[in-house]
Amino acid sequence: MIKILTVIGARPQIIKAAALSRAITNSFSDKLKEIIVHTGQHYDTNMSEVFFDELNIPRPDYNLNVGSGSHGKQTASMIEGIEEILLKEKPGCIVLYGDTNSTLAGAVAASKINIPVIHIEAGLRSFNKSMPEEVNRIMCDHVSTLLFSPTKTGYRNLIKEGFKENNQAPFSADNPKIFHCGDVMYDNSLYFSEVAEKRTNILAKNELKKNEFILATIHRNNNTDEPERINSLFSALHKIATENKVKIVLPLHPRTAKLLSKNLSSELYSNIKLNKLIQIIEPVSFLEMIALEKNALLVMTDSGGVQKEAFFFKKPCIILRSETEWVELVECGSAKIVDADEKKIIEAFNDFRNAKNLKFADLFGDGKAAEFICNEIIKL
């Protein structure tokens, strides 16, 4: 039996981890034993707990309860806690997802005591190191032993950074193995797509009709912390809703919720509050989110995961950032990068609302990325 130690902490990691946990339970329970460590980076019920119940993820064996804090403070407490657990549990490897501070902490803690790092969602790059996530993912990739990239672009990025395609086993941090294997988020979207509308009533609850509303999410640090950007984003939402009489539903990340009144001008803040077409709601569960994505007219987001899910469900996506790691979406023509530029956001909405025959190629695997990853972990 191989003991693997999975570290999760932020909302998208909990969701991604569901795919691997499901594969282990269904197909690899005789070979893999998973220990789950929750760092506590996200802790509100609707940012963490809700996903364990809904996605059938085993309860964490450990919760470090680090909570929020500056990058250094938050990451340092996680490193300390993860190291202690690694020394006690002595797993065969650590499994890390994506690019959050929880990912970085796991990579530092494990690599320093020579526990192989498995990085899921390796190779993605925005080429913008002012993003904390870019720093986290580069650092994690470069101490990893097995690197699983969901896209060809991610795989090629690794090669450009010096990773070799033909390394032979035994693999280690000095002789790592890179894979292009599809996306565990696609596994999840396929798996839960059928049941999402049956098991939730988010559309009825918010009086939303198929293809008659926009789904928006905003949480990126620059979009929330820089007043100019957050004002431009919300001004665009206000204008689009008002001028087109279209509803915008906005499940709001707590980071954004906390900064809205502080960073929006008082006039815009009150306009947004009074605008009945803009429905700001609490963060929703994953199945509720899928139901919203499947039924939206289009999606506007600065989230990495939501960009992709829009694509999985064949919805156009307006990317509220200056670049994306998921360049394939833009190359397909079904997503547009508009930054936090009010004029470009409105133009993109006008282009997409009437767009026909958008292309959504099969780019993210066959829904079995998690099984592929489990097999490679066993070989390691």
**Of these partners, ligand UD1, ligand UDP, none, which one is at the site of residue 200 (CB under 5 to 8 Å by kind)?**
none
**Residue 220 near residue 253 (C-beta atoms within 8 A):** no
Of the pair 157, 301, the CB lying nearest ligand UD1 is at 301
Give me the least distance between CB of 111 and ligand UD1, in Å please: 18
Q: In what order do the strands lie in the sheet with 117-120?
A: 62-63, 32-38, 2-8, 93-97, 117-120, 146-149, 177-180
Is 219 designated active site?
yes
- Please state, in angstroms and rounded to a whole number, the distance separating the CA atoms of residues 376 and 268: 52
| x-marked contacts with ligand UDP along 82-121 as a string, rule CB under 6 A | ----------------------------------------
Contact window for ligand UD1 (CB under 6 A) among 7-15, 111-119, 189-197, 204-212: 7-15
Give me the least distance between CB of 170 and ligand UDP, in Å please: 33
- Residue 160: other Cβ atoms inside 10 A: 9
With CB under 6 A as the contact rule, the residue among 258, 262, 343, 379 that binds ligand UD1 is 258
| x-marked contacts with ligand UD1 along 73-112 as a string, rule CB under 6 A | --------------------------xxx-----------
Can you name the residues that pair with 19 across neighbouring β-strands? none
With CB under 6 A as the contact rule, the residue among 74, 303, 324, 334 that binds ligand UDP is 303
Q: Where are the beta strands (DSSP E) in 100-185?
A: 117-120, 146-149, 177-180
47 lies in the site for ligand UD1, by CB under 6 A: yes
Can you name the residues that pair with 35 across neighbouring β-strands? 5
The residue annotated as part of the active site, out of 38, 142, 219, 253, is: 219
43 lies in the site for ligand UD1, by CB under 6 A: yes
- Please state, in angstroms and rounded to a whole number, the distance separating the CA atoms of residues 132 and 127: 12
With CB under 6 A as the contact rule, the residue among 64, 214, 284, 348 that binds ligand UDP is 284
- Please state, in angstroms and rounded to a whole number, the distance separating the CA atoms of residues 264 and 149: 38
Question: Residues 6 or more apart from 302 whose CB is under 8 A from it?
Answer: 217, 218, 219, 220, 223, 319, 320, 321
Task: Give the closest residue to 40 by CA, choosing from 102, 108, 84.
Answer: 102
Size of the site for ligand UD1 (CB under 6 A): 20
Contact window for ligand UD1 (CB under 6 A) among 8-16, 24-32, 230-238, 310-318: 8-16
- Please state, in angstroms and rounded to a whole number, the distance separating the CA atoms of residues 162 and 106: 23
306 lies in the site for ligand UDP, by CB under 6 A: yes
- Please state, in angstroms and rounded to a whole number, the distance separating the CA atoms of residues 116 and 93: 5
- Please state, in angstroms and rounded to a whole number, the distance separating the CA atoms of residues 262 and 92: 47
Give me the least distance between CB of 217 and ligand UDP, in Å please: 5
Of the pair 133, 342, the CB lying nearest ligand UD1 is at 133
With CB under 6 A as the contact rule, the residue among 121, 187, 309, 339 that binds ligand UDP is 309
**Of these partners, ligand UD1, ligand UDP, none, which one is at the site of residue 251 (CB under 5 to 8 Å by kind)?**
ligand UDP
Task: Quickly list DSSP for 318-338.
Answer: EE-SS--S-HHHHHHTSEEE-
- Please state, in angstroms and rounded to a whole number, the distance separating the CA atoms of residues 278 and 256: 15
251 lies in the site for ligand UDP, by CB under 6 A: yes
With CB under 6 A as the contact rule, the residue among 33, 156, 199, 255 that binds ligand UD1 is 255
**Of these partners, ligand UD1, ligand UDP, none, which one is at the site of residue 286 (CB under 5 to 8 Å by kind)?**
ligand UDP
Written as six digits, the tokens of 79 are 């490193």
Residue type, 17: A
State the residues that interact with ligand UD1 by CB under 6 A: 10-12, 41-44, 47, 68, 99-101, 132-133, 219, 221, 253-255, 258
User: What does the binding site for ligand UDP look like in residue numbers (CB under 6 A)?
Assistant: 11-12, 15, 217, 219, 251, 283-286, 289, 303-306, 309
